[in-house]
Chain A
Amino acid sequence: MTGPLLPLDAGLVARARALAAEAAQPVVDLARSHTTVSVERATLRLAGLTGADPDGIPWVNRLADAVQAQVGIEHGIALPVFHALKDFPDLERLAHAAAAGGVRFALPDGRAARAARDRASSAVGAGFDRIDASRATRSQLVAEIGDPPQRPWIYLIVATGDIYEDIPQAQAAAKAGADVIAVIRSTGQSLLDYVPEGATREGFAGTYATGENFRLMRAALDETSREVGRYIRLTNYASGLCMPEIAALAGMNRLDMMLNDSMYGILFRDINPIRTFVDQRFSRQVHARAGIIINTGEDNYLTTADAVEAAHTVTVSQLLNERFAHEAGLPDELLGLGHAFEINPEVPESFRLELAHALLARQLFPDAPLKWMPPTKHMTGDVFRGNLLDGFFNLAGVMTGQSILLVGMMTEAVVTPWLSDRDIALQNVRYVLSACAGLAEDFHPPADGFIATRANHVLGEAVDLLERIRDDGLLNAIADGTFGIMKRPADGGRGLDGVAKRADDYWNPAVAILDQGSTAPIPDGDPA
């Protein structure tokens, strides 16, 4: 791909990255020194524990709760669980007994500890074998069937609440031109402290993310991929209180992209910041292992704050997301940083401003598969104007070389998309992609022009903000309402009771395997 050219101040770029690394470091240290109930439950999922009790509460929750109540999670629950397992045929029957109050958990030592360690490592290793096999299958299918012929990849959403309705809709969307299918989750799943189990047919404005739903949809899209002659990627959400578990389920069931922002849950769902950062690091390590592209959520800031005034907060968040992702072992090609076309169309030169912001992201992250999000905030019931706005959004995406384009719907803010809305939206995308396929080659904004000046200005504001964040601490910046406008103190929010500082003897076989696997590339100017 010939990248678009934008003369950015190289010194400023290096400074921005160095500041992001410094600002991120205390949070990384925090993530490495704490564990959460969801990290521990994800470990049980990797060890193969599935199923739920008659009330729908998964056995991983019942088992982890029992261990937490008796010995806490600060040592890691693998040792007490796999020590107790010596008296049971499998994890599920141990979980049944633990839920009934019939198991006494203890931290073993000596030979008993070594035996428990061996059992745990072997069980969790089998989970990583599944993840590795899924990754190999994806590579093989992509090699065999092929990638989409064009960039950006076309990303479409389905959301019926019923996985068996979602499947034909997703297959139809792929046949109509979608390269990536995202299944929107049921409203509020991010606040559930457990992952629902099995195939689900009822949701609120979306479909629950479950291991079985993942498996069903992936199998259906494999079929469709062969029919349409390109590998259709599947997206879901590793966010909320169960990020690590959903990442593990995604890895084992071969999802291809996962929404996974470093701060979204804190800002928009009031989830405790420490819980989020700990869960996020583990989930990103899993995504790295599984070859899953993460999508970050910077577009959301622009739906609450003004897209011109707050443009630099997007850049800051992208740089922080990049740093956290690198630290967790995600390479640039799995880093789907987000940004959006959300400037008020009534603002003079709004399109030029959009081009400046989009080019800034493109130039700052040349090897990342950037995700370009359509207008939502300024979409109204005027569907005709909405279709025009979406056309300009598509044009900006092509001109600035974006990698993944979430298809905008003219009926945004009116109805969940109708069949015809989706068709019209795809027609809009196809027209722009075909009419302007190589336009990026011709688009070289002059160094002293409006676009380059604006991009450098936003970068400068981002550096100023990063300096403040480094000096105040990222957690304090979040507490003060720097992002989005929401104030979120580190000792508040949901899920704090599921966080524990790791004890000196903390041991988790999944963490051990993942930490071995992370090979964080060091960015320019990294003080470490």
Chain B
Amino acid sequence: MVNSDTANEKIPLIELKGITKLFPGVVANDDVTLSLFPGEIHALVGENGAGKTTLMKILYGEYKPDKGEILVKGKPVRITGPAEAVALGIGMVHQHFMLVPGLSVLENIVLGSEPVSGGTVDAKSAREKIEKIMQENAMPVELDVDVDSLPVGLQQRVEILKLLYRGAETLILDEPTAVLTPQETEELFKTLETLKAQGRGIIFISHKLDEVVAIADRITVIRRGKVIGEMPVQEANRQKIAEMMVGKPVLLQVPVPEVEVGEDLLVLKDVTLVEGGVKKLDGLSFHVRAGEIYGIAGVEGNGQEELLQVVSGEIFPSSGDVLLCSVQVCGQRITKIGPLGRRKIGIGHIPADRQKQGLFVNMPLYVNAAVGWQWKDEFQHHGIIDYKAMREKAASIIQQFDVRTPSVDVPANALSGGNQQKFIVGREISFDPSVLIAAYPTRGVDVGATEFIYRQIIDEKVRGKAILLVSADLEEILALSDRIGVIYRGKIIKEFSREEATPEQIGLYMLGVKEE
């Protein structure tokens, strides 16, 4: 057991000295120096794309640094792959879990470090060892089930068990709370405190400032690959960290103007969706009014994906109705109308995944200007495509929505993520839909683009559109929404108005602890 007051006199577990990593055209890490002591939680904070994950992947041996030195317990080491990192007592929980579906929890934990006796994996001794670890740290998980069947919180627990099983003294956690509810986060923090008390060192990557202040002993802020500052938690406050992260004072809240709300434009009535015998949506109802942003909050996997498919028309519900008011008619049943038909009557859709859904990444940008709207008369005459009109459209999106691209002829994947997203947002808005679905509109996008996209969404609201916002980022939902619906097991179990919504209250419903 290590007392954190005396930690500084100890030899650090990890020292990174002058780490520089170049990606084509980008300096991902620039002369980064960082240390971690036993019994310490060291938070690494910075914006998306600041270089936090890259730095940790270097420490975990997944990337090779171009310059710099890594010391483990005072000794310089070369880490050429995860196997070496594991051998040196370093473990990492990736932001996207690295679990193998189809393998049991036990198999997932031992994979890569299997105890072998007589040519076979010694499941018995592995089980004993894991059970001991689970007991010591109060992290029980059932070992014989398919890891895929576990909820997210438990999957994360399995990830941490993987590290402990390997005897990791240094634990790297990359955005561990991104997928957790506030309550699950609290559980995680308890676990981290236990691990810390055992003398392990933890590097905690996050951009959620409240959490950082709550759990960390030391904070390092990184911006554009450079260390901007390092401070003990006692000297830190949210405003100060935020300024260091972004480089200029930022408004943590986007101003949302008051708009007079109109009538219901999008209504879901008692929508149920059964897939493969499982109820993905279970009598889900809500309505979105003109001039209103309706946010859907929830733990991932509670039906958000299916809800988006039902609203966009990609899947038809097993029962229940979807109704729409458009310029032409009101109260139209659109339950059995596909995505094409829904666009025609005025639904725009910023998709959850810009690379997989929103764009044809290998096709020129001008073709992507018409994705979803290819049926419009301006783009085709008697089944023949008008490429000229597509180019004009692309050019106007680029200009209006500040998309940085060398030309309209480059394939969409030649653009950065933020610019791709701005292009999609621009495309959907420019066709003037009366209802806009915004799914994870700023996921993986830098702060500048995020702010820009927020403004666009708010402008749409001001123009009297009905906006359905689905996001995994509770802060985003709280910042933008007029009303918030909490989805849990395929149902909206609680609605909050802007005024009454607090993260803690919403969290309780997200977890299903409270139900109406």
A and B co-occur in one complex? no
**Residues of A with Cβ closer than 8 Å to B?**
none
**Residues of B with Cβ closer than 8 Å to A?**
none
